[in-house]
Amino acid sequence: MSDIPGPQPRFTRQDVEFREAMASDRAEIERIASQTWEGRDYLPRVFDQWINDPDGSFSVMIYQGTIVGVGKLTRLDEDEWWLEGLRIDPAYRGRGLARVMHHFIVSQARQVAKGEVGFATAATNTAVVKLASETGFQRTADFKVLQHTATPTANSGEWRLLQKTDIPRLEAWLAESLLFNETAERFEHRWTWYRATRPILEQLIEAGQIYSWHPQGEQDELAGVLVANPLRQDRPEDEPVVSFAFADALPEWRQQLWNAAAQIVATRGGQRATIKIPDRPEFTQPLMDAGWEVRDSHPVLFIRPIVLTEESDVRFEEVPTVE
């Protein structure tokens, strides 16, 4: 990188090379990750999984022999793909490399995948939000992140683990959920929103992750549904956290459901709960009324068909064919 002071020239596609990441790249990729999110980047934790992913593509971007960026295209299902892990070496940020990397991965999806592709970013990441529009993504949903550390309360209704025989009733309930519609019929885990298809519902039920909620005195009424992610504790010093992939109730029961959610946290061994929920008052206000606190985070979900029509106003940088 040049030592000349002042603004540096922007990179173009012709300035860099791309290849698949290799096990020997670990040190360089971890060096970049160590400068992201105050050293709490998840890339080191998923490195081996991504290197050995037989369906997706884990790419590195190289400038003058040095890895300056990484990005991942992940297959969630046969016709469902996800962009994640886009990182640029801080020494090279602000010079257009994120745009080059983003275009490259989207073009990979256009060449090797079908169906839909999505990704999520923070609303404050204005450069990537602009890139999403440039490459044909629709801003599908905006979220707030809320957390809760309160202890369970008495008389807060009953939670029941669903069984596979409950799936038709569950699907009918979700079809009527405004929140489920607002999230494009997706659940969330670690900033990935995936479609809640019947096979997914079966897997989650088998893993004991989907609960129905029945208010006190209304034990036969299915008033709410909650999907819990696996207990999260990335470091020994971290408090165990239960994040919710999805949770909603009938409008008149939403605040009571969020009061009752602490029971699930305690049952699953957590000390704190979090959820990413659509940023609309009818969803966020019941949580806040139940004592949940808004965190300083604003995720945004983007989705697009992998194949766009010829009329789409989308621009792509020239990229090599993916072999």
Cα(229)–Cα(184) distance, integer angstroms: 19
129 domain-assigned: no
For residue 245, what are the domain limits?
A: 144-299
For residue 320, being part of any structural domain is answered with no
Q: Is the same domain home to 100 and 154?
A: no
Residue 210 lies in a domain: yes
Contacts of residue 262, Cβ cutoff 8 Å, sequence gap at least 6: 148, 150, 151, 152, 153, 156, 273
Q: Angle at which helices 26-33 and 43-51 pack, to 10 degrees?
A: 150
User: Is residue 308 in some structural domain?
Assistant: no
Q: Would you say residue 161 lies in a domain?
A: yes
The Cβ of residue 79 has, within 10 Å, a number of other Cβ atoms equal to 14
- At 233 the pLDDT is 84
According to the per-residue pLDDT averaged within each range, which of 100-104, 193-197, 257-261 is highest? 193-197
Q: Which of 39-43, 83-87, 238-242, 281-285 has the lowest mean pLDDT?
A: 39-43
Residue 124 lies in a domain: no
Instruction: With respect to residue 23, please indicate whether it lies within any of the assigned structural domains.
Output: yes
- Please name the residue that has the structure tokens 């990704």: 119
Query: From the CA atom positions of the chain, what is the Rg in Å?
Result: 21
Say what the pLDDT of residue 318 is.
47
> What pLDDT was estimated at residue 323?
38
Task: Give the length of the chain.
Answer: 323
Number of domains comprising the chain: 2
Phi (first) and psi of residue 158, to 5 degrees: -125, 135
Give yes or no: residues 92 and 228 share one domain.
no
pLDDT of residue 7: 62
Same domain, 49 and 191: no
The tens digit of pLDDT for each residue in 233-256 reads 877 788 999 999 999 999 999 999
Q: Do 55 and 174 reside in the same domain of the chain?
A: no
As a whole number, the mean pLDDT across the chain is 90
**283 and 150 assigned to the same domain:** yes
Question: Is residue 322 scored above 50 in pLDDT?
Answer: no
C-alpha 44, offset from chain centre: 17
**Structure tokens given for 228:** 């819990």
Residues 108, 84, 110: CA angle, nearest 5 degrees: 20
Q: Does 158 lie in the same domain as 96?
A: no
171 lies in the same domain as 274: yes
Do residue 109 and residue 151 come from a single domain?
Answer: no
Q: Kindly report the CATH number assigned to the domain that includes residue 47.
A: 3.40.630.30
Q: Are residues 192 and 47 in the same domain?
A: no
- pTM score, whole prediction: 0.90
- 22, with CB counted inside 10 A (0-12, 13-18, 19+), is exposed
pLDDT at residue number 248: 97
The answer to whether residue 80 sits within a structural domain is yes
pLDDT at 314: 52
Of 233 and 310, the one with more pLDDT = 233
Specify whether 173 is located in the same domain as 278: yes
Could you count the other beta carbons within 10 Å of the beta carbon of residue 194? Answer: 16
Both 20 and 98 in one domain: the answer is yes
Residues 27, 157 within the same domain: no
Q: At what angle do helices 167-175 and 198-206 cross, to 10 degrees?
A: 120
Asked whether residue 191 carries a pLDDT value surpassing 50, the answer given is yes
- Residue pLDDT, tens place only, 52-69: 999 999 999 999 999 999
